[in-house]
Structure 1
Amino acid sequence: MTEMPQAAEEAPIKGLGSHRVALPEVPPAFAAEVDLFRQGIESALPGPTRRVLMTSATSGEGVTTLSLFVGISLAARAGRSVCVVDANLRSSGLTRWLGLEGQLGVSDVCQGLAEWSDALRPTETEGLYVIGTGRAGGEPSVLLGSVAGREMAKNLATRFDYVLIDGGRTLGQVEASLLAPSVDGTVLVVRANHTKREVLAKAEKEIRSHGGRVVGSILNRRTFPIPDAVYRRL
């Protein structure tokens, strides 16, 4: 295991490029650990395209920050084409962080008001695109449980090497579990010295009960990609 700095805080965004979404800089202390995690994902999911759901047991564990930082690492340092999706329709953390409020996004596509191509936003990092939660209202579980919601990862995977979905928390809301069967693997983000093992195990069980596959975990202040067969040792 390697030490990983706290991931829950959002870094400030600098200068918006023309028609491109401005991104925060990945803190130097994070870079090596994020790269290590990225390598672990590539090893755990060796296919030509990789659809990954980022979630956590409870809120405030750093899912949004790590989803974006891993996306930046994949695009900037590994040369992959990447789409990071804010599917946490209840909090829209990534959407607010990147200033995507009021733009077409997940909710609009799920209601048939737009296509995924309409919702894609290029960023300052070449090869990295983002999709916000959108401007249409609606019950999150109904939207993400729709045909468009369930096929989101599949459709985006035809355009990108990686699709990273910020699914918010698993316990207390059903959306992440609804998305889990549609991706190649789910990653649980865990806040160090906060999330109890039994809570983490409950989140893992919830994902598996919906047909999802947990391929690894990020622990704030430590990063350790864990193959599926080893994960049960937590």
Structure 2
Amino acid sequence: MKKKRNTPRLWVKEAGKYQKAVESFRTLENTIFRYKEKENVQTILITGVERRVGTSTAAFNLALICAKDMPQQKILLIDTDISSPSLHKSFDFPPSPGAIDFFYGEAMLSEVVQESFLPNLKLIGLGGNSKESISPFTRQSFQDFLQFVKKHYDFIFIDSAPWLNSSHTQRVSLQTDGVIVVAEAYRTHIETVTELYHKLQLNNIFLLGSFLNRRRHPVPQWLYNRI
């Protein structure tokens, strides 16, 4: 079945066609592996500077390239973007049950974990809508979930909404080991990138790296120093 235009593309499945993008992900992969060895970085949030910069595309392909290049590593990819979930669309599995259903005790973990086309990459979609006005990621069940999956997976990648615009993402980021920021050349303003960087620092959130879509011209030096 042909995917809709707004469904994040799995570039790794067409690596020959997207060689530059795949190599950028491999650079990030090397950074992640280095910090895994040095700092035991395991849970990684991928967030955008703003919407429509390709955050989910970056998250999905980064998880795929890591799973493909490190077949001995167990990898989990989770969708936490409440405003625009897309993991189930790209990997073609039912939208529910998912993470939220598990956090509210409406599904077992075994029911929400989905297979991918790589044996060492598992998936968890967002699932049903939040039943409360507060974030589902404030629940103790979310913290318990992260502690559990860290014992069973080598890397956990978390797709999310833009950090500056989402209290959900801000909450999730406090529970992770590091953040990867996605921006887009010609679209992302330097001021917005700088604001995000300073707020991550203020909250003691570790900036692990970055991915710049459609890169042609430089953005702030701190961003390139991370990739």
Alignment TM-score, normalising by the size of structure 2: 0.81
Can you list the C-alpha shifts for 1:130-158, whole angstroms capped at 9, x where unaligned? 10011354358521121122344332111
Question: Is 1:50 the counterpart of 2:42 in the alignment?
Answer: yes
Q: Which amino acid in 1 is paired with 2:62?
A: V
State the shift of 1:83 in Å: 0.6
Q: Which amino acid in 2 is paired with 1:131?
A: I
Change (3 A) 1:204 1:116: farther
Relative to its length, the structure with more helix (as a share) is 2
* Alignment partner, residue 200 of structure 1: 193
* Alignment partner, residue 9 of structure 2: 11
Q: Which amino acid in 1 is paired with 2:60?
A: L
Q: 1:154 aligns with which of 135, 147, 150?
A: 147
Change (3 A) 1:152 1:90: farther
In the alignment, is the contact (CA less than 8 A) between 1:11 and 1:25 conserved in 2? no
In the alignment, is the contact (CA less than 8 A) between 1:107 and 1:143 conserved in 2? yes
In the alignment, is the contact (CA less than 8 A) between 2:41 and 2:177 conserved in 1? no
Over the matched positions of the two proteins, sequence identity in percent amounts to 17
Cα distance in 2, alignment partners of residues 203 and 141 from structure 1:
23
* Alignment partner, residue 4 of structure 1: none
Cα distance in 2, alignment partners of residues 141 and 213 from structure 1:
25
Structure 2 unaligned segments of length 5 or more: list them. 1-5, 217-221
Cα distance in 2, alignment partners of residues 176 and 39 from structure 1:
25
Q: 1:32 aligns with which of 7, 15, 23?
A: 23
Change (3 A) 1:169 1:209: same
Alignment TM-score, normalising by the size of structure 1: 0.79
Q: Which amino acid in 1 is paired with 2:23?
A: A
Q: Which moved more, 1:208-217 or 1:116-125?
A: 208-217
State the shift of 1:74 in Å: 0.9
Cα distance in 1, alignment partners of residues 10 and 179 from structure 2:
27
State the shift of 1:108 in Å: 0.6
State the number of aligned residues.
212
Cα distance in 2, alignment partners of residues 93 and 102 from structure 1:
9
Question: Is 1:60 the counterpart of 2:58 in the alignment?
Answer: no
Please give the root-mean-square deviation of Cα atoms over the aligned residues, in Å.
2.8
* Alignment partner, residue 100 of structure 1: 93
Q: Which moved more, 1:148-157 or 1:106-115?
A: 148-157
- What SS class does the counterpart of residue 206 from structure 1 fall into? helix
Cα distance in 2, alignment partners of residues 24 and 95 from structure 1:
16
Structure 1 unaligned segments of length 5 or more: list them. 1-7, 14-22, 224-229
Q: Which amino acid in 1 is paired with 2:32?
A: I
In the alignment, is the contact (CA less than 8 A) between 1:56 and 1:203 conserved in 2? no
Cα distance in 1, alignment partners of residues 204 and 29 from structure 2:
24
Q: 1:217 aligns with which of 188, 210, 215?
A: 210
Q: Which amino acid in 1 is paired with 2:141?
A: A
Can you list the C-alpha shifts for 1:72-119, whole angstroms capped at 9, x where unaligned? 111111222111100112111222322333422111112122243331
Change (3 A) 1:123 1:222: same
In the alignment, is the contact (CA less than 8 A) between 1:141 and 1:174 conserved in 2? no
State the shift of 1:222 in Å: 4.5
